[in-house]
Amino acid sequence: MMRKSEYALWALLVLAVLAAGSTMVSLARSQSASASNSEIYKQLDLFGEVLERVRADYVEKPEDSKLIESAINGMLAGLDPHSAYLNPKHFRDMQVQTRGEFGGLGIEVTMENGVVKVVSPIEDTPASKAGLMSGDLITHLDKDPILGLTLQEAVEKMRGPVNSPITLTVVRKGVEDPFDVKVVRDMIHINPVKYDAEGDDVAYIRVTTFNEQTTENMQKAIDDLKTKLGPNLKGYILDLRNNPGGLLDQAISVSDAFLDQGAIVLTRGRNLEETQRSNARPGDITDGKKMIVLVNGGSASASEIVAGALQDHHRATVVGTRSFGKGSVQTIIPLGSNGALRLTTARYYTPSGRSIQAKGIEPDVVVEEELPEDLKKKVEVEGTHGEADLRGHLKREDEDGDTTEESGSSAYVPQEKEKDTQLNYALDLLRGIKSVDTEAKKKAEAN
């Protein structure tokens, strides 16, 4: 055994060595941090010098706030295509979109030949009550011409405080002269869920976006369809085609509505402690009925979370074409009165660990829509586009090390249901006219 005096001496030596090592590590870290800080300060000095040169020598006097905003946007655009700075106005617009309610007229519109064309008035809104019709062309807003405005600018002018009036100048087919329509703005509630019964046996639910009202409205739709179809109900079609995504929590709650247990989505940030797993709670609001999920090249983000979760748990058969492939999570970070920062903070993975980033969801049954001739030519020249085609996109990182990336697919959906190949295919699957096993066998034989 070692004597106490010798033990004490050795203990002091060990402590001294440890202390010296700790000091060296701390010093190395401090020097590394100091070098890093020194470099960033040099870069900030460079930025300051360029800023002053622009302010002093540019051919026209620039606006300082626009210079700084552009610089911030440039920095964030260099990270990935989805990170961005939202100035106060854009931040308010984003909040309006996610709430799904705003002061406005209640019309779905598009731009045609420089004027606003009414796609359809929303039922029981100021626009429908004022008699606006699908196909109407709006040429002036409060006597000011729309020509020269973007669609977004025109929409912003039509929105406004509840109970405030606006006069629309309308050109209508079959009416010789333009006429004015006075509309008083009201609170408009955008329903992200549209539904109908297909025949007397299939429930069709289309989710157009994931805003704060999506889950609640979807549950109402399912309750209504259950009552309408009764015991004849064979199954559900959840149409996520051309749904660009939206709120992560809504994607989780929509998935949860159809699942009894298991993971829904995994999100992983830069550090291990930032990994989160969302799990389903008991209770399937469709009582385990058959499900088909429709996706295409316009299905992105939250849509892919839902499709991936239901596919991995074999809860639904996914039909259509490869989805867009946006597998990253953006966090909105408010900046007080200066707007907000939309920053990519995590990647998300399906329950089985698949990364959707730059690859998308591959359907269980691939069904292509027949394209009109003009679109066929366009696709032949330009191809289809997905996340993998975006400049600066995050690279794919799968759990098994697979980094293969795939482009998207067509986002075309015919307006006439009888021409909608994907929808009709889903109906045949639910009604037993076709089966997934038969199609898988045909695909294997073709390969």
User: Distance of CA 322 to CAs 398, 408, 422, 437, Å?
Assistant: 17, 6, 13, 20
Structure tokens at 365: 């049954």
**Distance (Å, rounded) from C-alpha 305 to C-alpha 252?**
8
Active site residue 201: no
Question: Among 80, 239, 312, 364, which one carries the catalytic annotation?
Answer: 312
Using an 8 Å Cβ cutoff, are 107 and 118 in contact? yes
Alpha-helix runs per DSSP H in 199-301: 214-229, 248-258
Cα 412 off chain centre by: 18
Helix/strand/coil (H, E, C) string of 335-349? CHHHCEEEEEEEEEE
Active site residue 312: yes
Buried b (16+ CB within 10 A) or exposed e, 398-418: beeeeeebebbbbbbbeeeee
Residue type, 213: Q
Place of tokens 């990364």: 355
Question: Among 326, 328, 355, 359, which one carries the catalytic annotation?
Answer: 326
Active site residue 398: no
Question: Among 253, 255, 301, 355, which one carries the catalytic annotation?
Answer: 301
Q: In which element (H, E) is residue 33 found?
A: helix 4-57
Rounded to 10 deg, the angle between the 4-57 and 64-77 helix axes is 130
Q: Which residues are catalytic?
A: 301, 312, 326
